[in-house]
Amino acid sequence: MFYFLGIDIGGGDNTWVVVLVEDPTEKGKLSLSLNHFEGESAGRVSLKDIILFVRSHKVLTVTMDTPLSFSLGLKKGWRKGDLALKDLLPKEAKRWVLSYNALMGIPIRGYLLAQALSPYCGTILESHPRASLHMILPEDKKYLSHKYKREHLQESECLFLKGFFAEIFGLDIALELLTNSGFIDALLCAVTGFYLCREPEKLIFLPPEEEALGFGPFVIFKEKSQDF
């Protein structure tokens, strides 16, 4: 089986991981893969456990919610990709995009994890799951991309996301998982990696620096109306 990992990098014990697997008998059919990290398909996981998983499984993509490419020429940490992403978002959402200087230790944790994983997996890429969620949600539900990071979603909102992810990604997700923003971010990262392999035309490739160091590409989903 081939696996696709999504990682929401956090400080301390607040790193979330989602493991997706493609059905070996039906190309393109995804499911959450259970029983890898303390009996869960997603949850708070140590970086050591992630490394052990990738070393022992056929992982095609690892997608992280943190900057993974850097340039010595950027004094303030604003990359071309960050600025391009800000241009794609509405005014009230532009603040979601931060320079890697502002994120302090999180990009370092992501970069070190990527270095440890790179000999054992396929592509390591960067994404911005909150921006992706905003892009794919229907117009009347885009407010959820603003809300889910600030407060718990109502049951009706979680039910909508459950049905929405089932419709566009074919995933059956337990309702309680959708109350956690770390899970949602890791899930969208994992699905982004899958689409990089199978349907890259549904992704926006944000521009890299001319002399970047690190890992990429940096990609998010296109708007649902564009190519879904």
Higher per-residue confidence, 98 vs 166: 166
Domain that holds residue 202: 3-222
Q: Given a cut of 50, is residue 41 above it in pLDDT?
A: no
**Cα(45)–Cα(63) distance, rounded to whole angstroms?**
15
Residue 34 domain-assigned?
yes
Two structure tokens written together for 10: 């956090």
Q: What are the pLDDT digits (tens) for 180-189?
A: 999 999 999 9
**Cα(222)–Cα(147) distance, rounded to whole angstroms?**
20
Q: What are the pLDDT digits (tens) for 153-180?
A: 999 999 999 999 999 999 999 999 999 9
pTM above 0.85, yes or no: yes
The band of 101, judged by pLDDT with boundaries at 50, 70 and 90, is confident
Positive or negative CA dihedral for 20, 9, 183, 45?
positive
Residue 195 domain-assigned?
yes
Residue 150 domain-assigned?
yes
Residue 228 domain-assigned?
no
Residue 30 domain-assigned?
yes
Q: Label residues 98-126 b or e (16+ Cβ within 10 Å = b).
A: bebeebeebbebbbebbeebeeebbbbbb
Work out how many domains the chain is built from and give that number: 1
**Cα(49)–Cα(41) distance, rounded to whole angstroms?**
13
Residue 120 domain-assigned?
yes
**Cα(103)–Cα(24) distance, rounded to whole angstroms?**
39
- Three-class SS string for the chain? CCEEEEEECCCCCCCEEEEEEECCCCCCCEEECCCCECCECEEECCHHHHHHHHHHCCEEEEEECCCCEECCCCCCCCCHHHHHHHHHCCHHHHHHCCCCCCCCHHHHHHHHHHHHHCCCCCEEEEECHHHHHHHHCCHHHCHHHHHCCCCCCCHHHHHHHHHHHHHHHCCCCCHHHHHCHHHHHHHHHHHHHHHHHHCHHHEEECCCCCCCEECCCEEEECCHHHHC
Residue 105 domain-assigned?
yes
Residue 227 domain-assigned?
no
* Main-chain dihedrals φ then ψ at residue 91, nearest 5 degrees: -50, -45
